[in-house]
Chains A and B, each alone.
Chain A
Amino acid sequence: MVKIHFSRKQLCIPYGLFLALFVVIPMLLILFYAFTETVDGTIRFSFANFLNFFTSTAKLSTLLMSFTIAIISTAICLLIAYPLAYILARSKFKKKNVLLMLFIMPMWINFVLRITALRELLDLIGLLGTDNYLNTIIGMVYDFLPFMILPLYTTLEKLDNSYLEAAADLGGNKFTVFTRVTFPLSMPGVISGITMVFMPSMTNYVVSDTLGNFNITILGKLIDQYFTTYDNWHMGSMISIILLVIIFLTMLLTGRFKDENRDARGANLW
């Protein structure tokens, strides 16, 4: 019998192959498709898609509109979630965790079903179809609010009370204590929440379709259309590259390359 020499390190080989085959190579394929075009059945190198994107007012206005929807949705989430997370984290209620659970539970319930339920509600009260932009923003806030609440709660809950007491003892009134101590200390949670909400708000077209009555085109929808409707995979890949650049820039801006995404998905609660 052949004795297989077993080493713990070797356990990462299958995972490494998996990542190479199904994550890294596919991303390189996007890059390849973005900078090529198919002419008469042959693929050749080209900057056409790149130039096309930045000279097309339709595509640029989609980008701008998508940006606006994402910024407004993220801002509303932050404005709702911050006071809520603050109240929950500071409350003296014994079962704070159960209370928190009520607010972030939707995270684990199928979002298509939740968004469809919201569509039914908007339809019932006569809002559906009146203002597709507004309804899309309501949908984004509805879908992503839990992802803003959780990181804010986590940082505010960890906040050391003695800092706040010290600030008050040194003569800070409630407003200055908040603006000079509490808020700056909660910045990691704010940034984590913003990244969890902003990017999906630019790309999750199920929300904009369902609530914008299939009339709103956000960046994610544009990519989908180039793949499924227009059958132009080169242009779809180019828009993906532009999206990736935006994601990369927000990561640089927020300095967030850590494991927080997992915590923000609520993994610790399982």
Chain B
Amino acid sequence: MSTATEAASGEIHDADEAHDDHDHGLSDFGYIKVALLLGVLTAAEVLLYFVDTGPIEVPGLLILMVVKFWIVVAYFMHLRFDSKLFTWMFVGGMVLALAVYAAMGTSMLFWTDPAGCDLSPNLNC
């Protein structure tokens, strides 16, 4: 019994430590380093805009955008250190938004009258 109790208290202790880990995230210096990285990535974005890089410009900008987005969400919003449920709530909303609007965009591409602007001839834009 005592062994079971010790094991149990050990698990609770581990759980407390894990909970602490959830709350802490990075140190202040760690956050400053992350912010510096974000600043560098923003500078890279602006550089890509001004320097003619041909076909890599748009993919490059999109990749930098996704990386910056992920860094803020993971470190500043603590999602990397927090419960997975929060991740699912947020990612669920994003995926739903992307799916719905991708579907809408695609349908508008298919249904748009090239001479006009929409499905209805009576609807001005």
**A and B physically associate:** no
Query: Which residues of A line the B interface, CB within 8 A?
Result: none
Residues of B within 8 A of A (CB): none
